[in-house]
Amino acid sequence: MENIIEEYIIYLHKIKKTAYNTEISYRRDLRKMSAFLAENGILKLRDVTETSLNGYILDLERKGMSPATISRNIASVKAFFLYAIKEGLIEKDPADGLKAPKIDKKTPKVLTQEEMEKLLIQPKLENAKGLRDKAMLELLYSTGMRVSELVNLKLDDVNMEVGYVTCRDAGRERTISFNARAKKALETYLASSRDQMTKDRDVAFLFTNCSGDSMSRQGFWKLIKHYANRAQIEGDITPHTLRHTFAAHMVEDGRDLHDVQQMLGHSDISTTQMYVRLNRHPDVEE
């Protein structure tokens, strides 16, 4: 079964163009399923039944896995067996009857306008790192892009004259305009800071770390935590908090929901509608 799982991962990578982190999750989930089935004497794909898969899900529950983790595992298993059906490896889908547990959706944390302003003014503009951090924070808040998109931006992805950026994620791309404040921060960073960060090397990435190499998501996460602490903002602040904050503030300011959907890159507008509910119930507790 391990060979078929690897073939499936190759299919995801080459045909479906899935993100690297998604492929890692699928491989981990499916290997876990395969190990459980092997422990119970099931080594061949055609011998897998709905009963054996339900046993696997019950085993995850007994191990204390969260509903969200179990739901992700079920999604991986379902997708894998649909692939097996499509490839003619099995005739009947044993995962068809699997049901995901209900997940209580938490209201995402959103910063107030005042908190966001306090965060944006934290970087010190007297040095190259501060100018870079200022540009990154302003651009993230102005566009609502994902942190993975932010740290992977190339110089060619930014059109300073028109004021838009091209984001790429999992083989898809979209363009998002940024505001005058983000443009000014970017102009200052490009004129006064970036060459110092890159050590005058020919680097394609828009933002780099202090060694002139590409920034990691973890590095930017630490940056956010640092400035949130300095701004004395309570609660857990992550890069995704700024994405939620961007969307909530856009809806609050009356921006068309379809525009917000396009900027966020949501495939389904029902996901974007969460921010309408946030503005209707501003006092919902986290």
What's the chain's length in residues? Answer: 286
Residue 278 clears pLDDT 80, i.e. is over it: no
In angstroms, rounded to a whole number, what is the distance separating the alpha carbons of residues 80 and 12? 10
CB-based contact 147:221 (threshold 8 Å): yes
Report percent pLDDT > 70 for the chain: 94
Note the pLDDT tens digit of each residue in 228-272.
999 999 888 888 899 999 999 998 888 888 888 888 888 767 678
pLDDT in tens, 86-118: 999 999 999 998 887 776 666 778 899 999 999
The CA distance from 6 to 3, in Å, is 5
266-to-36, 111, 145 alpha-carbon distances in Å: 35, 21, 11
Q: How confident is the model at residue 201 (pLDDT cuts 50, 70, 90)?
A: confident
Q: Can you give the pLDDT at residue 190?
A: 95
